[in-house]
Amino acid sequence: MRPITVRGTPLAGGTLPAVCVPLVGRTRDALLREATDAASLGPDLLEWRVDHFTAIVDIDAVVATARDIKAAAPGLPLLYTRRAQHEGGQATALHDDQLVPLYAAVCERGGVDLVDTEASGDPAQVAAICEAAHAAGCTLVLSFHDFQRTPALGELLERYRDSYRLGADVAKVAVMPQGTGDVLTLLQATWMASEELPIPVAGMAMGALGAVSRVCGGEFGSALTFAAGRAASAPGQLPLGPLRAALAVLHGSVLRR
């Protein structure tokens, strides 16, 4: 597993997958309560899923709220994500031409440490978000999600490669398994990508069937796993406490090898 680095520091000490708790509050106050609660659970980073935020079209409100979340969770890196609806995000009033200015403002003024956008987005927008993130010293996650099914191994590997080719610092894939074999496919693609690519990768299968991948993904090269705080942002996320305990058990076995 190649660890994710944020402003020069590897997450989770560089040895275990980083555990991220998503924030899905709709208002500033709800988000700040959620951030305080989540921080008390001891995650390695938080993710703000801004597509749940009702004031998403107000750039200044988004920037101020990002700063407030950072202040409510001191010392915790913040991942900023506007998940597109076609990859499982919420419907929002955000207009297409507001997307890049929103990411740029949050990178420059919001104090966020990582940003995530879909690799399948408009190429000019992806390039502009990449540039804004890197100019601000943010770690760029380029991601792919399929909430219905699990594409074949070759396609998943290509999704990881696409993210790398587009300039990602982290390539991420999340899929919905229809059977146990699909979980194996996701893990195999993640393992192959982690061996092939010079950047960290993150892979997870969603839903009840996929929950095992959130625990053992690190053994297959995944540098990041998501755990539920007050609420989950995707099906199958486990509560942080039991997930941490399971990771520690696996890590103990790794040390004994």
Ligand X SMILES: O=C1C[C@@](O)(C(=O)O)C[C@@H](O)[C@@H]1O
Least distance (Å) between residue 165 CB and ligand X: 19
HSE-CB for 89 with a 13 A CA cutoff: 22
**Which listed range, 9-17, 66-74, 118-126, 226-234, lies at the site for ligand X (CB under 6 A)?**
226-234
CB-CB neighbours of 54 under 10 Å: 14
What's the closest the beta carbon of residue 78 comes to ligand X, in angstroms? Answer: 13
Closer CB to ligand X, residue 34 or residue 47?
A: 47
Integer Cα distance of 108 and 110 in angstroms? 6
Interface residue with ligand X among 18, 72, 81, 221 (CB under 6 A) is 81
Q: Check the annotation: does 34 bind a ligand.
A: no
Assess 197 for contact with ligand X (CB under 6 A): no
165-198: buried (b, 16+ CB within 10 Å) or exposed (e) per residue?
Answer: ebbbbbbbbbbbbeeeebbbbbbebbbbbbeebe
118 is in an annotated binding site: no
| Residue ranges in 148-177 that form contacts with ligand X under rule CB under 6 A | 174
CA distances from 122 to 16, 92, 100 (A): 33, 18, 11
What is d(CA 220, CA 241) in angstroms, rounded to the nearest whole number? 21
- The set of residues, in sequence order, having a beta carbon less than 8 Å from that of 236 and lying 6+ positions away, is 205, 206, 207, 208, 209, 210, 211, 214
Report in angstroms how near the CB of residue 182 gets to ligand X at its nearest: 14
Annotated ligand binding at 237? The verdict is: yes
Q: Which residues are catalytic?
A: 145, 172
**43-62 residues near ligand X, rule: CB under 6 A:** 47, 49
102 vs 255 by CB, closer to ligand X: 102
**Site for ligand X, residues 85 to 124, rule: CB under 6 A:** 116
Known binding positions for 3-dehydroquinate: 47-49, 83, 214, 233, 237
- Footprint of ligand X (CB under 6 A): 22, 47, 49, 81, 83, 116, 143, 145, 174, 204, 206, 226, 233-234, 237
